[in-house]
Amino acid sequence: MNRREFMASAGALAFVAASSGMGFAQEFKQLEFFVPAAPGGGWDQTARVMGDVLAKTGKIGNARFTNVGGAGGTIGLPQFVNQYKGKGDALMVGGMVMVGAIITNKSPVDLSAVTPIARLTGEYLAVVVPANSPIQTLADLVEQLKKDVGSVSWAGGSAGGSDHILAGMIAKAVGVNPVDVAYVAFAGGGEALAAIMGGQVTCGVSGWGEFSEQVAAGTLRVLAISAPERVEGIDAPTLKEQGVDVELLNWRAVFGAPGLSAEQTDTLVKLMSDMTETAEWKEELAKRSWTPLYLGGDEFAAYLKEDIERIRGILVDLGLA
C-alpha cells in the first residue's frame, strides 16, 4: 500500500468511526419522556433536567414531554403501557411514590408491566409551613398534632406516596394514629405548593428540591428534613435530631415500555449510565440537592422487587393498604 492508498484508507476508517459515534446520538433524534404526574413536581423536574442534559451533551437530538397526572401515577401508567408498547425511544419517569400509590389504590396495572431501566436519584423530604404560620418549629407542629390530629392538615402528592408515608410515619412516631392524619393529596407539586403558600393547609411535605427556592426566598419555613443526619447545602434540622425517630429517602427512576427487546433495553440502560457520568448531570444534582443513586438494568429490577415489598409492609403498618 502506497502513501496515497494508506491516507485514503485511514480517512475511510476515520469517517466510519465518526459515523459510529454519531450513530449513537442519532439513534435518538427525539426521546419521549412520559411523566405520569402534573407539571411542576419532582418527576416532571427530573424528566426535564434529563432531557436538557441529554440534548446538551449530544446524546439525543431533542426531548418531547407528555404529562398525564393523577393518583400517584396510576392514571398515567396504563396509558404508557398501552400506547408505548415496543417503543425503544421512550422513558417513563417514576419512583417510590408510584409504588405506594399502586398498592394503596389497588391498581390493576403495576410496575411489572414496564421495563426497569435505572434508578437515578434519591431525595430527602422536607416538612414546611408558610412563613407567616404561627407554627415556628417541629415541636409546635407535633404539639398541635397530639392535641387535635384533625386540626393539622398536610399537603403533598397522591395518597400512598412518599409524602403521605412520611406524614403517617411522623404521626406514629409521636403516638398519634396514622389513619387519623388529615392528608390532602394533590396531583402535582405546583398545586400542592400553591395550597401551602396560600394557607389552605397547615403544612406541606415533599422533596426538598420542590421547596428550596421558596425557602430561600423566605416565603416558606422548613421545619425538618427526613435525612438520618444533616445534609450539606440544606439549612434544616432533621426529624431525628428533634426527637422524631423517622427517616425516609424518596428515589426516582426511569422505566422503558413493555415488550422491549434486549437490545432496546441495553441501549436505554447505557444511555442512562452515560448521562450520569456527565459533568452537566452532576452539576444539576448538586444544584438541586439530589442524591445520586444510580442502579441500572437487572440490578435495578432486583432492587425494585425488594422495595415494593418493603413499601407494602410500611403501608400496611400505617393502615394505608
Terminal CA-to-CA distance of the chain, rounded, Å?
Answer: 75
Listed in sequence order, the DSSP H helices in 161-227 are 162-173, 189-197, 208-217
Is residue 15's pLDDT more than 50?
no
Reported as a pLDDT band with limits 50, 70 and 90, residue 13 is very low
pLDDT tens per residue across span 105-132: 899 999 999 999 999 999 899 999 999 9
Q: Which CATH class is domain 124-249?
A: alpha beta
Res 57: pLDDT = 96
Q: Which residues does 107 contact at the CB level (< 8 Å), separation at least 6?
A: 71, 74, 77, 101
CA distances from 289 to 39, 73, 196, 224 (A): 20, 24, 21, 15
Q: Give the span between the Cα atoms of 232 and 236, in whole angstroms.
A: 10
Is residue 9's pLDDT more than 50?
no
pLDDT tens per residue across span 63-72: 999 999 988 8
Q: What is the pTM of this model?
A: 0.75
What is the mean pLDDT of the segment spanning 91-117?
Answer: 95
Q: Which CATH class is domain 30-122+251-317?
A: alpha beta
Q: Where are the domains of the chain?
A: 30-122+251-317, 124-249
Q: At what angle do helices 162-173 and 138-147 cross, to 10 degrees?
A: 70
User: Can you give the C-alpha Rg of the chain in angstroms?
Assistant: 22
What is the mean pLDDT of the segment spanning 124-152?
Answer: 97
pLDDT tens per residue across span 49-59: 999 999 999 99
Other C-beta atoms lying within 10 Å of the C-beta of residue 238 = 20
DSSP state at residue 238: B
Res 8: pLDDT = 44
Reported as a pLDDT band with limits 50, 70 and 90, residue 74 is very high
Does this chain's domain 30-122+251-317 share its CATH topology with 124-249?
yes
